[in-house]
Structure 1
Amino acid sequence: MPRDSARSSRTGDRDRHGRGLRSPVTGPDLPPLHSRAELFDLIVGSTAEYLKDIWPDELATATFEVAALPAQIGAGDGIDRWQVDPVARRVTLYRLPIERLARSQRGDETQRRMMIESCVFRAVAELLGKDPWDLAPERFRHL
Structure 2
Amino acid sequence: MPFASRRPRSYASPRALPSARARARHGRNGRSPVTGPDLPLAHTRLDAFEATVQATADYLQDLWPDELAALRIEVLPMPDQPPGVSGVARWRVIPQHRLVVLYRIPIERMSRLHREDDWHRRLMVESCVFRAVGELIGKDPWDLAPDRFRHW
TM-score, with normalisation over the residues of structure 1?
Answer: 0.82
Structure of greater relative contact order (alpha carbons < 8 Å, 6+ residues apart): 2
SS in 2 for 1:105: coil
Task: Answer yes or no: is 1:88 the counterpart of 2:115.
Answer: no
May I ask how many residue pairs the two structures share in their alignment? Answer: 134
Give me the identity figure in percent.
Answer: 56
Structure possessing the higher radius of gyration over alpha carbons:
1
8 Å CA contact 2:23–2:31 kept in 1: the answer is no
Deviations 1:29-80 (A, max 9, x none): 3321111111111111111011001000000011000000112255333000
Distance 1:14-1:89 versus aligned 2 partners, 3 A rule:
same
Matches within 5 A, 1:1-143: 11-13=21-23, 23-143=32-152
Q: Which amino acid aligns with 1:141?
A: R
Structure 1 runs, 4 residues or longer, greater than 6 Å off: 17-22
* Counterparts of 1:86 and 1:62, CA distance in 2: 10
Shift of 1:20: 8.2
Unmatched 5+ residue regions in structure 1?
1-9
* Counterparts of 1:107 and 1:18, CA distance in 2: 47
How big is the alpha-carbon RMSD for the aligned residues of Structure 1 and Structure 2?
A: 2.3
